[in-house]
Amino acid sequence: MPPTESDKVVHITMQNGMPVPDQDPVQVKKNGQKMKWCADFAFQISIDGYGDVNYTPGGSACVFSAKTGFFTDERQYKYTISANGVDYDPILDVKP
């Protein structure tokens, strides 16, 4: 299923053994966008202070994916991408 117009899509690649997003920080519209991460490898997302992350088969656009609900707080979140035993900590910036 392709992302809706409101989805903010971030692609994750492995660079020097580290799972790295193509946007850092990534900006999301408060109450207006959901986040979707896509990768060709299995990964986990954990967001400090936020728990609505669901994993689904990626479909044709990506092999593995994770998606959030809407963000209701305007603030920065530190989140962690974990893959192959390695963590990377980018920033998610929720804007008005």
Architecture of domain 7-95 in this structure: Sandwich (2.60)
Residues 19-37 have a mean pLDDT of 95
Q: Is the pLDDT of residue 3 over 60?
A: no
β-pairing, 34-39 vs 7-15, is parallel
pTM as predicted: 0.88
pLDDT for position 35? 95
Q: Is the pLDDT of residue 79 over 80?
A: yes
CB neighbour class for 85 (10 Å; exposed up to 12, middle 13-18, buried from 19): exposed
Contact, 88 vs 80, CB < 8 A? yes
Contacts (Cβ under 8 Å, ≥6 apart) of 36: 3, 7, 8, 9, 10, 65, 66, 67, 68
Q: How far from each other are the two terminal CA atoms of the chain, in whole angstroms?
A: 27
If we measure between CA atoms, which residue out of 21, 33, 27 comes closest to residue 82?
21
